[in-house]
Every structure is written in structure tokens, then in C-alpha cells.
Structure 1
Amino acid sequence: MKQKLVFLFLSISLFTYGQKTIYEHNNFKEFSKDHKILAIVPFLATLELDEEQELSKEQLDELEDQEGEAVQNALENYFLKRKEKKKFSVEFQDIKNTNAILAQNGISIDNIDIYTTQELCKILNVDGLISGNLTLSALISKSVPKVDFLSIIMGKSDFGRIAIKISDGKTGKLLWKYEKVINRKSGKNTNAIIEGMMKNAARKFPYDREKEKKRRKD
């Protein structure tokens, strides 16, 4: 009986951890038809660390910025690899240029959320924006924490959730969104997590050339 209960808990837990959600706007094709270049901005991170990890507000803010910038960097790395194989129908602005332009306009990861998508796209001179947020109970930019077996069967091995969004620069409308729970199987660090996420979402990624071809046929 105990073995059956353990198996049940484990099954439920693994099912929950694998959950992901992909949304695409019904009129994506119309809104994105003139898209040529997108900017990836730093992600907004919220850290919910254990109470024993005593940090000042300044230290916590710094770590949150670090995690948000790590996701921005990991996404660029992923897109650059795929770009070499001519997988995308759009270009991606160099994040060094993106961050420099934002800084020149007094925009940082700490206040970027007060600007609209249209405002940011106009400042960056791009057609659309890739942004997002993540909530973490552990730092992932260096390495994913180890989780023991008991935590897995009790449903506690996930330590975060990430959402990647694409928005239209002209209208500000949300065109695409991918949400996923992060756990120890997601990858060993931010780069691995993003790589795995985007590979799983590749067939659903709206700017994939193969998907674009199918849209044109339809």
C-alpha cells in the first residue's frame, strides 16, 4: 500500500512539473506581418529565497537583476545558434545595443516595467519585444540546486516558473506567451533551462521559418 502511495505521489508530482502553457494570438499573422527585428529586454525576476538566507534589500535586488539579465543573455544565445541555421524569419537586436540604448534613455531593469511596449519599441527602434518574468525560490544563473527524493514525491522539487512573451511594437498586444515550471530536470543553469524550453517550444515558436511557410499555405 505504501509503495502504491509513493508511486501515486511521484506520478502526480512529475506531471505537475512538466506542465507548460503556450498561447498565440489568433491574429498573429496580421500583427506580425511587418516584423523584421525584435529586441530582447532583461526579464523581471522575483526571488522568494529561504528565510535563513539573510539578505539586505540591496543584495536581493542585485540578485534579481542578475537572474533577469541571465535569462536575457540565454535567450540571445539560443536565437544566435538557431539563426546560424537560418531558422527564423526575423532578426534579433544585439542585447548589448538594447541595454545601451535603454541606459541612454534612463531605463533600467528596475524601472522598465513602467514603460509600455510601444514606448520601448519606439526607443529601441524595433518591431516587437521579447520580455518576460520569472519567480524563483533558488538562484539558477550559476547552477540548479540539488533536490532530494523526498522533495520530489512530496511535490516540492519545482523551484520556479518562467514566462516568455512576445508583444507587438505598434499595438502593444501580447502575441505569444510560453510559461513553464522550472525544476531540477529543466537544466543545470539558465542557459540549459532556456535551451531546453525553446527546443520544446520550437514547433510552436511563431517566427520559425517552417511554421511561416505553413501559414502562407493556409
Structure 2
Amino acid sequence: MKLLKITFILTLSLFLFNCKSAYVHNDFNTKTANHTKIAVLPFKIITTGNLPKKISKAETIKIQEEEAVLFQTSLINQLLRKDAQRKSKNLKVEVLSKETTNTILKENGYSISEAVDINPSELAKILKVDAVVSSTVQKQRYMSDLASVGIELGNSILKGLGVNVKNKTNDIIVTSNIINENDGSNLFNISKTFEVDWKSKSIPNIIDDVNKKIIRNFPYLK
């Protein structure tokens, strides 16, 4: 009986620990009381593992920028879709469109690959929003079938290098933060690891699945 009780307590503790997968600032409601607009930044893409040796730095940057915008677009779409589905509690802020966000960044001299390394609170000031969603994806392969979502360059580069890793299952580690424009404080953080079977699903479905889990705890939806 004692062993059973100990086992139950340990199981409950693990369950409660796993439930607390997201951090929300203790003063979130106070800090965001006057927030009306946020922007989702392009994701920072980190690709590790055995990558093609012949690929140039310019080609690598181009592919990562394409992936960064795919994740950015999906997160915006998931937030808006979630907002439309909710009957009682809606998204409390306006979300800047991907086109507007990336155009403003470009007009201020930042490419997608450069913007992901700039202080998020500084980007919030440039974008004239109250906060930005800054996210990082770490994975072990390029998304070699980028053409399936209408992106030709990355796909042609990878085909030319003989990349064929569609059958592999790898982990994706995603970290997402909401950074306050006013004081640079981290209002929200979530980090999750996903096991992805690149063969069973398309790239858009994989990205959407990742972002759906990210926004489950999104505080502006509370």
C-alpha cells in the first residue's frame, strides 16, 4: 500500500510538471493591459546534423529564410483561426500581417536572416507594435520538398545536391517567446520537442501541428 501511494504521488508530480510547459509573466495582465497590436517575427531556423557539403552560404541562407517565413505564416494563421473558433474568449490584440511585418523589416534594412538576430524589443519599436512573438526552430534536416508549398528555389537547390531524407524521423525543438516592446521583458515562453515523421505528413501539416501546440497556452487568447 505504501509503495502504491508513493508511485501515485510520483506519477501525479510528473503529470503536474508536464502540464506546466509554458511560462507566463506574473504581471502579464498588467503589462499588457494597453496592448492593441503584436507582430509575429520570422522564425530563427537552426539546422544541424549531416548537411550537404556542397551547398553555398547564400543557398543555405535562402532556404532558411524560406523556412522561417513558412513557420511565421503558419503561426499567424493558427492564431487567427483559433480566434475565429472561440465563442467567448477572443484574441485580445490585432496581429500584424506577415506581409506588413516583413515589408517594414525590409524597408528598415533587415533581411529575414538578419532580423532573426536583432533584439526583439528593438524590432517591436520598428514595427510599432506592443510586443513581438520571437521563435526558434532547431531541426536536423532541410525541408527538401519545399516545392510542395510553392517554393521552388530551395527545392531545386536540394535536388541538385542529391538530398533525399524524406523517410527519416527527427526531433524538432521549438521555442517561442513574447517580448514586450516597452521594457524588453519576456511575457511568455514555451519550449517543446516534437518527433516528426517527414514521410507521413506534408511540410505545411507538420508546421501547422507544431504551431497548434505552441498557441494552446498563448496568453493573449486567455
What is the distance in 2 between the residues matched to 1:52 and 1:122? Answer: 38
**Counterpart amino acid of 1:119?**
E
- 5+ residue gaps in structure 1? 1-17, 148-156, 212-218
Q: Which residue, out of 112, 120, 130, partners 2:133? A: 130
Cα deviation for residue 110 of structure 1 reads 2.5
Match of 1:146 in 2: 167
Match of 2:219 in 1: 206
Match of 1:43 in 2: 43
Match of 1:97 in 2: 100
Q: Which residue, out of 139, 162, 165, partners 2:174? A: 162
Structure 1 pair 49–66 and aligned structure 2 pair: CA distance change class (3 A): farther
What is the distance in 1 between the residues matched to 2:80 and 2:189? Answer: 20
SS in 1 for 2:178: strand
Cα deviation for residue 165 of structure 1 reads 1.3
Structure 1 pair 36–61 and aligned structure 2 pair: CA distance change class (3 A): same
Cα deviation for residue 69 of structure 1 reads 1.1
1:106 aligns with 2:76: no
**Counterpart amino acid of 1:35?**
H
Q: What RMSD over aligned residues (CA atoms) do the two structures have, in Å?
A: 2.8
Cα deviation for residue 67 of structure 1 reads 1.3
Structure 1 pair 46–194 and aligned structure 2 pair: CA distance change class (3 A): same
Instruction: Name the count of aligned residue pairs.
Output: 183
What is the distance in 1 between the residues matched to 2:53 and 2:23? Answer: 36
| Contact persistence 1:43–1:69 (CA under 8 A) | yes
Between 1:191-200 and 1:158-167, the stretch displaced more is 191-200
| Contact persistence 1:70–1:190 (CA under 8 A) | no
**Counterpart amino acid of 1:50?**
N
Cα deviation for residue 184 of structure 1 reads 2.1
Match of 1:118 in 2: 121
| Contact persistence 2:42–2:116 (CA under 8 A) | no
Cα deviation for residue 198 of structure 1 reads 4.3
- Taking the TM superposition and a 5 Å limit, the aligned residue runs for 1:4-19 are none
**Counterpart amino acid of 1:24?**
V
| Contact persistence 1:118–1:172 (CA under 8 A) | yes
- The two structures have a TM-score, normalised by structure 1, of 0.72
Cα deviation for residue 94 of structure 1 reads 0.8
What is the distance in 2 between the residues matched to 1:94 and 1:23? Answer: 25
- 5+ residue gaps in structure 2? 1-17, 149-164
Match of 2:158 in 1: none
Cα deviation for residue 197 of structure 1 reads 3.6
CA displacement 1:65-102 (0-9 Å, x = unmatched): 11111110111111221232353111100110111111
CA displacement 1:80-128 (0-9 Å, x = unmatched): 2123235311110011011111111101222224533332112111111
Structure 1 pair 194–30 and aligned structure 2 pair: CA distance change class (3 A): farther
What is the distance in 2 between the residues matched to 1:77 and 1:129? Answer: 16
Match of 2:65 in 1: 65
1:193 aligns with 2:206: yes
